[in-house]
């Protein structure tokens, strides 16, 4: 069996998507047309089971061409729409992909049997004192469940098998075995990855489906990078916090009258932090997890990464649940129906909450809080996704900072708190510098570092009095 890597860090889902976006940007028109042709062909075959069987048979052949195009682009080679049909020119690979396609046809047949035999129009009656009926609705649900299990099982088997044949020249059966093994070992990061994929498909479908011309190619390219991480990379170099965290090492400080550097903040993550230079030793305080501190000629920069495995998983589950409810229950169609106004308002609010949960998920995943401290001002920025709390505070009359504990209710009998970094001016005017920190250690770190840089003496008595 082919050796494969274990991916235990969910931040790889982010890495795959951003890498897929980078590949897409090289040839966006070619990628969009290639995937559009593939998608049209696939959807045309979805009208009946014969069409589904034909689509299942041919999909590995064309998908193999797309994976091969991603592999070429990743290695600096040009791609063209003809790459979609490249597997047709290689008899050995074509034969193995046809075997996978034939198994896919068998899977379609099994799902057909599960849905129609289990959901056939018959009634199972049994006597319990009343004439109780176990009817078609019950058996249809059971058939759909069985069909879903078969489909998901085939998904595990075929996930990596197509690129294994197209790129690694494996035999069909061997590639299916390797795909199942690798998928089970890396199930959690793969589920996170495809969870994000579902949400991106929802967002892409909103503008009359035009966004899918970007989302679908990016997901195909991202799937290639998932395959690359698991099978092609010699060592699984797992990031300790996020894949871009190791990129902040050698850049020079930027000298500017404005204390905020000119950062690029596009989707692909070129928001990487200004790199570390002349970092001062700190003997009395440990750098909290997810934090970076950089010193430049004219300012200090503290960067806090929002994302963590627990936050991302929680936000992902919430986004899937909210959006799954309004999509599967036809809330969008109800908005344009002649139903009651109150029902329409409920549907609208639910859809807004669902889309908002997607926005929150993306912000939790990508955002960083950057705190710039100079002798003149403190500036707070949340990037790249716009978020409330950006501010600028003049330091000329700043007298003291301290940490304020905020009660957030209780969970399972345990009280929950968050922590704010609060300041007071020489005129005794209080203000919140940054809020919502989960740990006292994080807030205390920011407080002390800002005070030390500005030469403000730490006054615990003042903090307690306030």
In the three-class reduction of DSSP (H, G, I as helix; E, B as strand; rest coil), residue 5 is classed as coil
- List Cα–Cα distances, 265 to 60, 269, 273, in angstroms: 37, 7, 11
Q: Where are the domains of the chain?
A: 11-232, 245-306+367-465, 309-355
Residue 234 has pLDDT above 60, yes or no: no
CA–CA gap between residue 279 and residue 295 (Å, rounded): 6
Q: What is the mean pLDDT of residues 296-317?
A: 88
63, 67, 109, 165, 178 from 159: Cα distances, Å: 11, 12, 19, 12, 10
**Structure tokens belonging to residue 319:** 């986004």
**pTM for this prediction:** 0.56
Tell me the per-residue pLDDT of 336-358, one tens digit each, with 9 for 90 and over: 888 888 888 898 888 888 888 88
Backbone angles phi, psi at 181, to 5 degrees: -60, -50
Least reliable range by pLDDT among 99-103, 187-191, 244-248, 350-354? 244-248
Higher-confidence residue of 380 and 253: namely 380
- The answer to whether the peptide bond before residue 363 is cis (omega within 30 degrees of 0) is no
More confident residue, 79 or 195: 79
Token representation of residue 157: 């088997």
CA distance 415 to 409: 6
**Bridge partner list, 303:** 292, 370
The better pLDDT of the pair 32, 236 is held by: 32
Tell me what pLDDT residue 8 has: 54
From 303, 428, 271, 418, select the one nearest 372 (Cα to Cα): 303
How many C-beta neighbours within 10 Å does residue 102 have? 15
Q: Could you tell me which of 291, 438, 447 has the C-alpha nearest to residue 370?
A: 291
pLDDT of 240 higher than 80:
no
Cα 434 to Cα 444: distance, rounded to the nearest angstrom: 12
For the segment 433-437, the average pLDDT, to the nearest whole number, is 91
| β-strand pairing of 377-383 with 291-295 | unpaired
Nearest Cα neighbor of 243 from 2, 7, 12 is 12
List the structure tokens of 196: 């994000």
**Average pLDDT for the chain:** 78
Q: How confident is the model at residue 125 (pLDDT cuts 50, 70, 90)?
A: very low
Measured CA angle at 400 (ends 399, 404), to 5 deg: 145
Torsion on CA atoms 61, 200, 313, 141, rounded to nearest 10: -70
Q: How many residues does the chain have?
A: 466
């Amino acid at each position: 069996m082919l050796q494969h890597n274990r991916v235990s860090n969910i931040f790889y889902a982010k890495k795959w998507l951003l890498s897929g976006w980078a590949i897409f940007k090289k040839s966006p028109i070619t990628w969009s047309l290639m995937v559009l042709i593939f998608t049209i062909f696939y959807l045309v075959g979805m009208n009946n089971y014969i069409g589904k069987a034909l689509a299942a048979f041919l999909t590995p052949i064309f998908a193999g061409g797309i994976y091969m195009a991603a592999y070429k682009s990743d290695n600096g080679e040009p791609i063209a729409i003809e790459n979609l049909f490249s597997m047709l020119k290689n008899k050995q690979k074509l034969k193995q992909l046809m075997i996978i396609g034939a198994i896919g046809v068998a899977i379609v047949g099994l799902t057909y049997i599960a849905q129609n035999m289990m959901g056939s129009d018959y009634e199972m009656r049994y006597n319990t004192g009343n004439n109780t009926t176990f009817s078609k609705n019950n058996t249809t649900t059971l058939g759909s469940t069985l069909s879903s299990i078969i489909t998901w099982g085939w998904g595990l088997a075929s996930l990596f098998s197509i690129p294994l044949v197209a790129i690694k020249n494996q035999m069909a059966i061997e590639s299916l075995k390797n795909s199942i093994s690798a998928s089970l070992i890396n199930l959690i990061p793969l589920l996170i990855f495809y969870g994000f994929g579902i949400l991106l498909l929802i967002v892409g479908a909103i503008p009359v489906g035009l966004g899918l011309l970007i989302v679908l190619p990016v997901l195909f390219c991202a799937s290639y990078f998932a395959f690359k991480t698991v099978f092609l990379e010699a060592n699984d170099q797992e990031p300790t916090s996020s894949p871009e965290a190791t990129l902040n090492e050698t850049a020079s400080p930027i000298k500017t009258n404005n204390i905020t550097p000119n950062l690029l903040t596009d989707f692909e993550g070129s928001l990487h932090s200004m790199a570390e230079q002349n970092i001062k030793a700190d003997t009395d305080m440990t750098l909290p997890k997810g934090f970076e501190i950089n010193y430049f000629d004219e300012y200090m920069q503290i960067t806090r990464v929002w994302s963590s495995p627990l936050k991302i998983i929680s936000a992902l589950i919430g986004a899937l649940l909210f959006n799954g409810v309004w999509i599967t229950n036809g809330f969008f169609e109800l908005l344009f129906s002649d139903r009651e106004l109150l029902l329409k308002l409920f549907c609208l609010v639910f859809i807004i909450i669902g889309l908002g949960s997607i926005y929150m998920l993306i912000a939790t995943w990508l955002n960083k809080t950057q705190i710039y401290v100079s002798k003149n001002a403190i500036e707070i920025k949340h990037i790249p996704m716009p978020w409330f709390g950006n501010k600028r505070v003049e330091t000329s009359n700043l007298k003291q900072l301290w940490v304020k504990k905020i009660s957030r209710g209780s969970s399972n009998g345990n009280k929950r708190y968050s922590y704010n970094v609060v300041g007071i001016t020489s005129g005794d005017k209080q203000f919140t510098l940054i809020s919502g920190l989960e740990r006292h250690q994080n807030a205390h770190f920011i407080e002390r570092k800002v005070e030390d840089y500005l030469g403000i003496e730490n006054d615990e008595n003042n903090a307690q009095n306030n």
